[in-house]
Amino acid sequence: MQIKITLPDGSEKIYDHPVTAIQVAEDLSPRLAEEAICAEVDGKLVDLDYLIDHNARLTIHTFKTREGKEVYWHSTAHLMAQAVKQLFPQVKVAIGPAIEQGFYYDFDKDEPFTDDELQQIEERMIMLSKENLPYTRQELSKEEAKKIFSELGESYKLELLEDIPDTDTISVYRQGDFIDLCRGPHLPHTGKIKFVKLLKSSGAYWHGDEKNKMLQRIYGISFPTAKELDDYLEFLKQAALRDHRKLGKDLDLFSINEEVGPGLVLWHPNGAMIRHLIESYWKEQHLLNGYKFVYTPHIGKASLWETSGHLGFYKENMYSAMDIEGQDYYIKPMNCPFHIAIYNTNLHSYRELPIRLAELGTVYRYERSGVLHGLMRVRGFTQDDAHIICTPEQLNEEVEKLIVFALDMLKHFGFKEFLIYLSTRPEECVGDFTDWCTATESLRQSLDKLGLEYEVDEGGGAFYGPKIDIKIRDALGRAWQCTTIQFDFNEPTRFDMTYIGADNAPHRPFMIHRAILGSIERFFATLLEYHSGNLPLWLSPIQLIILPITDNQLDYANKLKEQFLQKGIRCEVDARNEKIGYKIREAETKKIPYMCIVGAKELENNILTLRRHLLGDLGAMTFDEALNRFREEL
């Protein structure tokens, strides 16, 4: 019996007996074996002691890979739960996943965890780590699992078990005196978890539903080396200064008022100006790219949402119905049905296609209060929505144009790092199989033709069509969704969309739903954090502030203001009776790009002294010289 193990570089290892993943790693390199976290056999993540008894493809994951980090952090979450149970035996455990940066675990505890308690938990985790406790996997029946967690009094685990089909095999993992319901895989032992920091504790509703009990969630991070942990904590410290919620308050851009309602944004004048500039650029570029603008209502009859399928599949995320003249109306969670209604108003020939309808449409979705987060997750937001209705022959060209258009727009705002994903057909879906293949291939060919790197998320498409997602990185290293290019085979059928083809017969068009910025609110937040509030000159709500040293220069300052305003520079005068040093420091704090200082010398010589935020004094110059500098930067 020979077993052939194929490695990621295409090389092969031959064994005459079954072999574990860690044994292969040891044969390849002692260092690889030391750094190994988990393995991937034929595309499935497994523990390192997984026995390979057939020809297989094998990848050994370390902390350098995404999969390795997830397993490392998930194993640390189990370690934290063990420490909590030892220190607080009465506490019940809920769930503890790895997240993009670190992990969390939810606990049923009457009082929030204090800072001192977090320190105790952290110290206990380090102690348990040094014991090198093995993570051992056990497979059992659902009834056996119920018996174990019932005896332990772990009601949340019992509830999770109820959602697992009776025919499925249940797996649990043990380390020392702790057992957890888990699919795995995990580290071989706790000793691999070297450096841990518990970051914070906060409330979190079970299943994210405020109707359920409030649990206590602990967030943490862990690394194999002290340097990695120190670097990350310093990064968090710097990133906290970029938090859009802090910047929004410091720069007086927006607020969220509990009296108005959670997740509903109030745009202040400075924030509204930035938003106006974003939207104006958006409109300008869409007109140049052949889009036609539409405006649609904020509410629609129940029958519209029944036809679209939202009432059947999305109702829990919609606000309650309004009774108007005996009929139910719903505030819109999406703009799509309205755009389709506009298209269906007239009969269309293939000669008219493609039709590109665009709208900055405000929608409302009932997000659970536990997931609301500044501008990143709100209940009322504006999508830069567009729908492209085209023939099969036009698909490739439209998709290619869309990708270029999206990346060009994002780059204009200063973004440089993009993550692109192609999501393909899931098992449960609607639409013709041939259409799925055509649409997916169109997306793939366009990405390949443009030479863009992307990951394929097999089966990750929505049930109604394949898609491309473009994400950008924020200050914390998190990937935030911006652009979506999404085919829809559901609503064109539901609303019976057609066009008359060259054969004079009706045909179903392809419909591409796309948003480039995503939601204006989330994009605004990401933009703020990315630039640390130091927005490019063209986006700054106040581009120049004039600072007279005394009241004697106030008239001159106002005259300069009018001149700059006439030339299109957004300008204000700080006329307060404060010392010039104080005015400069405050302008720097407000991150105003330029300061124009005028004193007796400037007044006498009809000049001004210019300062640039973060750069300092630029020297004395004439009005025209200052204006040329602004124009060059703009």
**Is 534 exposed, middle or buried (CB count within 10 Å of its CB: 0-12, 13-18, 19+)?**
middle
Q: Which of 69, 275, 310, 387 is catalytic?
A: 387
Residues 98, 45: contact at Cβ < 8 Å? no
Q: Which of 513, 522, 531, 611 is catalytic?
A: 513
Q: How do 12-15 and 19-20 pair as beta strands?
A: unpaired
- Is 412 among the residues known to form the active site? no
Q: Which of 383, 486, 543, 553 is catalytic?
A: 383
Q: Which of 85, 467, 522, 561 is catalytic?
A: 467
Q: How far is CA 217 from CA 92, 95, 97, 261, 295, in A?
A: 12, 9, 11, 24, 43
CA distance 106 to 100: 17
Q: Which of 336, 390, 482, 571 is catalytic?
A: 336
**Is 632 exposed, middle or buried (CB count within 10 Å of its CB: 0-12, 13-18, 19+)?**
exposed
- Is 387 among the residues known to form the active site? yes
- Is 383 among the residues known to form the active site? yes
- Is 467 among the residues known to form the active site? yes
CA distance 52 to 559: 81
Q: Which of 78, 286, 365, 377 is catalytic?
A: 365
- Is 429 among the residues known to form the active site? no
CA distance 540 to 528: 11
Q: Which of 106, 243, 384, 385 is catalytic?
A: 385
The tokens of 439 are what? 């649409």
- Is 186 among the residues known to form the active site? no
What are the residues whose beta carbons fall under 8 Å from the beta carbon of 39, sequence distance 6 or more? 21, 22, 25, 45, 46, 47, 48, 50, 58, 59, 60, 61, 185
**In which element (H, E) is residue 61 found?**
strand 56-61
The tokens of 98 are what? 């790895």
**In which element (H, E) is residue 31 found?**
helix 30-35
CB burial of 348-377 (b: ≥16 within 10 Å; e: otherwise) equals bebeebbbbbbbbbbbbbebbebeeebbbb
Determine the Cα angle at 364 with ends 361 and 370, to 5°: 135
Catalytic residue ranges: 336, 365, 383, 385, 387, 467, 513
